[in-house]
């Protein structure tokens, strides 16, 4: 499906749920879809300016990202403070808790879904230590196979 077709479908889905995919929200989503990588809000501002010939203020990008994250269209990578399109964006159902495998050399990212039993185990262990898990998203630093080959 094309980026425009996907955004159109997302806009219809949002409207059916009483939400609005505004022009700025569409622009931010379009930038993330087109870039195909995780980006910070300021990188999105720059990308929109350089690649899409659109000027957008950082505060507008942050507000758009907040909406897109709440709608499960993008994920915020907590460690790097960057945002990436959900790999399940074309699906209409919830996919559970995300786990991100992040190459520390080239920044390639793969989104996986965490096994629910693993999450409940983490939550139980946290409770035993006097903690409550509030966001079970996992981000694991790795080295991808391509980078590993270059190091040999």
- The full set of domain ranges for the chain reads 1-92, 96-152
Confidence of residue 92 (pLDDT cuts 50, 70, 90): low
Q: Which CATH class is domain 1-92?
A: mainly alpha
pLDDT for 97 beyond 90: no
Question: 113 pairs with which residues across the strands?
Answer: 98
Instruction: List Cβ neighbours of 76 (8 Å cut-off, separation of 6 or more).
Output: 65, 69, 82, 83
Local structure of residue 133 (DSSP, 8 states): -
Distance, CA of 9 to CA of 35 (rounded, Å): 19
Distance, CA of 16 to CA of 78 (rounded, Å): 30
Question: 111 pairs with which residues across the strands?
Answer: 100
Lowest mean pLDDT among 24-33, 38-47, 90-99: 90-99
Rounded to 5 degrees, φ, ψ at 7 are -65, -40
Mean of pLDDT over the chain: 90
For the segment 37-62, the average pLDDT, to the nearest whole number, is: 96
pLDDT for 30 beyond 90: yes
**In this structure, which CATH number among 3.20.20.80, 3.30.1490.190, 3.30.230.20, 3.30.1600.10 belongs to the domain 96-152?**
3.30.1490.190
pTM: 0.83
């Amino acid at each position: 499906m094309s980026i425009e077709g996907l955004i159109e479908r997302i806009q219809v889905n949002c409207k059916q749920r009483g939400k609005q995919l505004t022009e700025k929200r569409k622009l931010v989503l379009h930038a993330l879809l087109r870039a195909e990588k995780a980006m910070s809000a300021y990188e999105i501002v720059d990308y929109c300016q350089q690649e899409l010939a659109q000027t957008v203020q950082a505060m507008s990008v942050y507000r758009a990202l907040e909406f897109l994250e709440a709608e499960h269209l993008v994920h915020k990578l907590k460690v790097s403070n960057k945002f990436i399109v959900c790999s399940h964006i074309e699906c209409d159902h919830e996919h559970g808790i995300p786990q991100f495998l992040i190459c520390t050399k080239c920044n390639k990212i793969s989104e996986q879904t965490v096994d629910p039993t693993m999450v409940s185990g983490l939550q139980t262990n946290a409770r035993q230590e006097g903690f409550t898990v509030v966001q079970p998203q996992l981000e694991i630093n790795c080295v991808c196979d391509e980078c590993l080959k270059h190091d040999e």
